[in-house]
A and B are shown apart, each in its own frame.
Chain A
């Protein structure tokens, strides 16, 4: 009896649990990446015991890949050495953790996943409970296979109505963040549902759950359905919401949403595109764990076909994984991007966290399909970051200024 989060923990613990209870539970999978991994290893080593299950641990090289400083290379070396010693074979240098691990099938309906990265909420799109933790917590889970959870209250978001052309999951999430604010779901789970979410493919559900942490969510989740089980090939457990009590329910009419833009310096400083259209851009970034998947790049390629991006704007495109990169290549999108004058980089986090594939200078404006526009996130703290959907990003790259995708077709 309860929300999706309550039902998953009830299944896991074999007794009924409710929001507010603190429990210690087994997890199915735990990972860290090339920034949080070394600190997790440092914590783990203090416990002086082997890893709980090498097959259920992964390390990803994505935030700085390939290493661009000696210090970064040293961290990569530490991780490789650790994995060799502990028999961990999931050492993945093929894109962003949150895309690669979904492709590897580590998240299934009913499961519990923890990662040393805040956007671990992304996996909730598969109908599991997934949350981000710090390095010490993950180091302890590497040793014990468990961690503690406070069963969260849940904010339910019902999305109904057909979005207008050019309006995507990103716009729906930004619209919700605009309503509830950057702390709107602090310490809570966010359950996304309604007809519009049911009709969404996995790519878009991943976007919703990814952005759930950016308004405080401990988890973002979608109840598993036929789309989920088709994606996992039938793997995972049936788990369903039953007589849930939500702390808050939001009703969203997707048909009324304009393309949304989160304006520097905060994720909840969201405007309709009409208010910021025309703002000149020095950089457009299409990628990240929010919007670097095949459907995102397909949309950009369709808009770039036979055109060139504005010469005043650097356009950086980063497929989120090797699989996405290969699919993009096969379909000819990479050539379309290159001919359009965009820079296509190797799979990974790209410029999202201001450490590789270019940084912003003081006074520059960037429009990014990622999830964070904090000052200094992508380079100089005096740069301004606008967050929007791939459709807005592609249209804006062509014009060199923030542009409504409806104007470019």
Chain B
């Protein structure tokens, strides 16, 4: 159970982690830079387990993995959006930040609402209502089962995907 932080459509990686703040690989510095200009109160108020709800094309733009890392470092349990940009999808999956695509929930919830997300089934509940988000499948599911891309490669190498015959 977490509280909802609500964002619009087209939230770019520049908004999540501006180019002036991602000159580091230090996870705690990245945590502090999350939404530093677009939403300056985010880092101060976010609690572990909170959930980001967004519109279409979340994480568009630059490939910087610093963006999903900074969200993960703030303890966000899941990002639920109407759509995710391609590279962000891969990056979040690779580092073990759960993301769920769901078209309906966006209009049904408000900032601060309580929400629960089952990141395996994609089922979202909030305010007594239930929404069917897309459960992870294919490569994303395989990586999720190992915890991260690095853990998957360490355990099985690419055979993990080749033998699973994922599509």
Contact = CB atoms under 8 A, between A and B. Distances in A.
A120 to B, nearest CB: 8
Contacts of B90: 133-134, 137
Interface stretch (B45-53, B57-65, B71-79): B57-65
B10 A266 contact: yes
Contacts of A75: 23-25
Query: Which of B56, B57, B87 is most buried by chain A, counting CB atoms within 10 A of its CB?
Result: B87
B23 A71 contact: yes
A377 B167 contact: no
27 contacts: A22-B167, A35-B22, A46-B150, A71-B24, A116-B63, A118-B63, A118-B87, A132-B87, A133-B87, A134-B68, A136-B65, A140-B149, A144-B157, A148-B161, A182-B60, A183-B57, A183-B60, A187-B86, A216-B86, A218-B86, A266-B10, A355-B20, A372-B14, A374-B12, A376-B14, A376-B18, A377-B19
A353 B62 CA distance: 10
A101 B154 CA distance: 30
A-B interface, 7 closest residue pairs, ranked by CB to CB distance from nearest? A134-B91, A353-B19, A134-B65, A136-B94, A374-B12, A118-B63, A135-B65
Contacts of B161: 22, 24, 148
A144 B158 contact: yes
B1 interface: no
A304 to B, nearest CB: 29
Interface string A34-75: 011011001100110000000000000001100001011001
B44 to A, nearest CB: 18
A355 B10 contact: no
A361 interface: no
Nearest to A371: B61
Interface string B133-157: 0000011000000001110011001
Contacts of B95: 136
Given A118-B63, A134-B63, A216 B85 contact: yes
Given A39-B66, A117-B63, A144-B153, A22 B139 contact: yes
Question: Interface of chain A, helix or strand or loop or mixed?
Answer: loop
Interface in A111-162: 116-118, 132-137, 139-140, 143-144, 146, 148, 150
Nearest to A46: B150
Interface in A15-30: 20-22, 24
Given A134-B65, A182-B57, A376-B15, 8 more contacts: A69-B23, A72-B23, A117-B63, A133-B87, A134-B90, A139-B150, A354-B18, A355-B20
Nearest to B19: A353
A236 interface: no
B162 interface: yes
Contacts of A375: 14-15, 38
Contacts of A140: 149-150, 153
B29 to A, nearest CB: 8
A4 B24 CA distance: 38
Contact of B56 (A20, A148, A183, A374): A183
B167 A376 contact: no
A82 to B, nearest CB: 12
B43 to A, nearest CB: 16
Nearest to A25: B158
Interface in A166-221: 182-183, 186-187, 216, 218
